[in-house]
Amino acid sequence: MNKKTIWITGGSTGIGKALAIKFANEGWNVAISARRENLLNEISVNHENISPFPLDVTDKSKCKEVFEKIKNKFENIDICFFSTGTWNPKKERDIDVEQIEEVFKINFFGTLNTIKAVEEYFKNKKSGTITIVSSIAGYRGLPNSTGYGPSKSALNNLAESLYFDFGRSNVRVCLVSPGFIKTPMTDKNDFKMPFLKTTEYAAEKIYDGLVNKKTFEIHFPKSLTIVLKILSFLPSKIYFGLVGKLTKYQKKD
């Protein structure tokens, strides 16, 4: 029986790394990509099922080149998990156009570049799963989130659009919306993060959602995400009032 294969971007740290190890432990072939080759190599040395494929997702041609290498090595790719992202809370408090452009370049267009690299393969194969990692920050606008939140909101819309487009070819598009997970990226936050979970917890939830279930969105922890989903349906006036109190946002006169 041939092993199944998953390609994970953002695989050097955080959720991507934990998920790579989870899939490897479950007997899958795992291709991991990220910019920092040294971190990829450290992971692969300790897990024989994990193979490193260094990649900067902002490089369109490189995305295609790396995917060709992965196909050549494993032949059949079952799941792609695109989780590249960046976040700098100190630069999100004001409108820093250059910073916002950089966030979109990595979070949105980086993800789009990798999806484009695999589009023809999956549509011809007529099976498989493409996974887009977003965030609870993409549900509705939040204070001090001029770039990160909008980039994730754009990914939510993209995932819904691609759900229809790839669905015609029997390819599943899945959206992952994590709550607060302890990673090098969330370590930058200077506020209390409710229901903070480990990357191992996230990996378990994602693995279960991708392998055992067929839902469009995998979101966790439910104790947080369900509340936020309810908030997202509220009229703007009520939403702004509640979120303002929760985040201690004060409107200036």
* The CA-based dihedral angle spanning residues 240, 243, 248, 253, taken in that order and rounded to the nearest 10 degrees: 0
| Cα gap 178→14, rounded to integer Å | 12
Given the residues 121, 139, 148, 201, select the one marked as catalytic: 148
Q: Identify the helix (H) or strand (E) that includes residue 17.
A: helix 14-25
* Cα dihedral: 158, 83, 231, 229 (round 10): 80
Non-local CB neighbours of 176 within 8 Å, separated by 6+ positions: 83, 131, 132, 133, 134, 206, 209, 217, 218, 219
Please tell me the distance from the alpha carbon of residue 20 to that of residue 31, in angstroms, as a whole number. 8
72 three-state secondary structure:
helix
Whether 148 is catalytic is: yes
Would you please indicate which residues are annotated as catalytic (active-site) residues? 148
